[in-house]
Structure 1
Amino acid sequence: MRLIHRSGAIHPEEGEPTAPRAHVLASEVEVADSVFSQMRGLMFRRSIPDDYGLLFSFDTAESRSLHMLFVPFPIDAIWLVDGEVTKVKRLRPWVGLGWGTADTIIELPAGAADEVEPGDKIEVES
């Protein structure tokens, strides 16, 4: 499974969209599909690989929060509604906190989402 980031930037002089760009955010994707795995998230792990992503999927889009308690490394968090990015935030180790509206949340190594912006699309490929 892979996470694909698709963006189409606006050309500043002309206001016209450029050709959509696509790149792989993560090629090693774990799905937090149980209550326990969602509660645990990345807690108690020492590190994660550079091409790793943890995906949380929910039935409805609601305000959802993330915390970094017992996570000793920074991460990038992406909140999505119907595959569209609503928020991106870097969370600090141990004390980071973030919230946004989402039906899907993705956690990635810090720096992996540097080019991701609200309005972009993220696709899950099998």
Structure 2
Amino acid sequence: MRLVHYKARGDDELTSRTLASTVEFADSFLSRARGLMFRRSIPDDYAVVFRFDKPGTQDLHMVFVPFAIDALWLVDDEVVHKKRLRPWVGLGRATADTIVELPAGAADDVEPGDIVHVED
């Protein structure tokens, strides 16, 4: 699995770039609650994906996460919000049916309106 970023370039042309080649899904109550807590770091090509049944307000916190991350809130694979969360004290909130957490800097060129999709 890999996480791919699609960006419109005009004239209906899309460019793509792999954001992460290692994708972990937080699909249980425990894995969602834990997220990245208690890890010392994550690899540069890593992403954790949280999927929800329908779009709704989704919160993130950085309690017990000692490194910065980039967080993306998606609705139907479209980026609706992006935020860099600081270690230990970062907070984020937006509407989403999917949240993606990546190493800080991995989503620098991702903007609202872009598409981010998990592919086999």
TM-score, reference length from structure 1: 0.93
**How far did 1:5 drift?**
0.2
- Deviation string, structure 1 residues 86-125 (Cα, Å, up to 9, x no partner): 0010000000000111000000000000000000001110
Tell me if 1:7 matches 2:7: yes
Max radius of gyration: which structure? 1
Equivalence map 1:29-40=2 (5 Å) = 29-40=23-34
| TM-superposition CA deviations, 1:37-95 (whole Å, max 9, x none) | 00000000000000000000000100101000000000000000001000010000000
Structure 1 letter corresponding to 2:4: I
Partner residue, 2:43: 49
- 1:12 maps to which residue? none
1:123 aligns with 2:120: no
Matched to 1:71, the amino acid is V
Aligned length: 120
TM-score under structure 2 length normalisation: 0.97
Percent identity reads 62
CA distance in 2, matches of 1:56, 1:123: 12
Distance in 1 between residues matched to 2:87 and 2:40, nearest whole Å:
11
Extract structure 1 runs of 4+ deviating beyond 6 A: none
In the alignment, structure 1 segments of 5+ residues that lack a partner are 10-15
